[in-house]
Each structure stands twice: as C-alpha cells, then as structure tokens.
Amino acid sequence: MKNIIEVKGLRKKFGLETVIKDVTFHVKQGEIFGLLGPSGSGKTTIIKILTGELAKTAGEVSVLDFSSKEFRTSYFRSNIGILSDNSALYERLTVNDNLKLFCKLYNTPIDRINGMLREVQLEETREKVVSKLSKGMKQRILLAKALIHKPDLIFLDEPTSALDPASADHIHKGLQKLNEEGTTIFLTTHNMEEATL
C-alpha cells in the first residue's frame, strides 16, 4: 500500500522553544496509526500541522499527495476528517440539525445522516437536543460529524481521553469497523492500550 502521510525531519518552534524535533514517520493507506506520547510531547501540534491548522518550522510533510502549502484549501479539507478538542456541536440544536449543517458545509447528501448515526449506534438520538446527551454520546456524534463526508483519512486527537470505558469501547469498535471499510486512521493517545487498537 502506498504512503498516505509522509513526514520527514519535521520541526516546530513556538518562539524560541522547539517542541517538535526532527520527527520522521509515514502512514500507509488502510493503516490505523497511533501516535503515542505523554502530555506536552507535541501530539496535538503534529495533528494541527498535518491538517493545515499550524505551519511547520522545517521539514517535509505531505498528506494524501497534497503538500503542506495546499493544506488550507477546501479541496484538501473535503478529503480528511478531524476529531479534536476544537470539534464542537451546537448544543441547542438537535443531533439531526447539527449533522444537516455539516452536510451542507461539506456538500454531502443529508440522506447519509441515518446511516452515519447507525455506525456510531446512536440512531435513537436523532431528534434529541445535543445539550441533553452524555459526554460519551456527544463524542460519538462528533465522530459521526467528522465522517459524514466519507473522508479517506481521519485524524483523531485523543478521541477517548475523557470518556468512561464503555464509551471508549463504542468509539474503538466504530473505528475498527471504519478501518475495515478502508478508511485510514491517524490517532494520538497517551494510553498504551489505545495505541495497540
């Protein structure tokens, strides 16, 4: 399988502080790649660089054959999915209305919503207001949101870090199924067990 992500000699400085020091790795198409490291080791920074949210200081980065210069284009963004701390839902809207908005944003047919909710096993929440859902349920809806446009590659920044074991298990099962269907998964974690998903 070909490399879907290539990172060579990546470096990132914030002011005078170098937080990423010459990191090199690649991710093959179809892989589940777990980036394991303690808090503060630069995992979120790496995801932000790979998704165009932050500029690198030095090194070479390509994702899905796009060079880092192209990461801010909407075409690149329509090919990836992101679940991070910055991902959010409109608390006062229903799950359905939230997902409908994201379908519009990504030019995705809204008839995908049902199937997507089935994937995360939350079909029954479709007409519920988001503020009434548990944290674990919200995270699964965020996963559905990150996947609604069927990206080939998804980035997940500590997707289960604040969840109870049962909710984490739901997320892991969803990710494994997704991967079996061909989606490449890049996830960060500080949890050894999750790294061996």
Strands 32-36 and 184-189: parallel
**What are the φ/ψ torsions at residue 74 (nearest 5 degrees)?**
-70, -25
Residue 191 is a binding residue for ligand ADP (CB under 6 A) = no
96 contacts ligand ADP (rule: CB under 6 A): no
Q: Beta-strand (E) ranges in the chain?
A: 3-14, 17-28, 32-36, 58-63, 66-67, 80-83, 153-157, 184-189
Kindly state the number of chain residues that form the binding site for ligand ADP, as judged by CB under 6 A.
10
Task: Find where tokens 């289960």 sit.
Answer: 160
Per-residue x/- track, 12-51, Mg ion (CB under 5 A): -------------------------------xx-------
CB within 8 Å of 137: residues ≥ 6 apart = 122, 125, 167
Map residues 13-52 to x or -, x wherever contact with ligand ADP holds by CB under 6 A.
-x----x-----------------x-xxxxxxx-------
Q: Which is nearer to ligand ADP, 14 or 25 (CB)?
A: 14
Residues that bind ligand ADP (CB under 6 A): 14, 19, 37, 39-45
Residues that bind Mg ion (CB under 5 A): 43-44
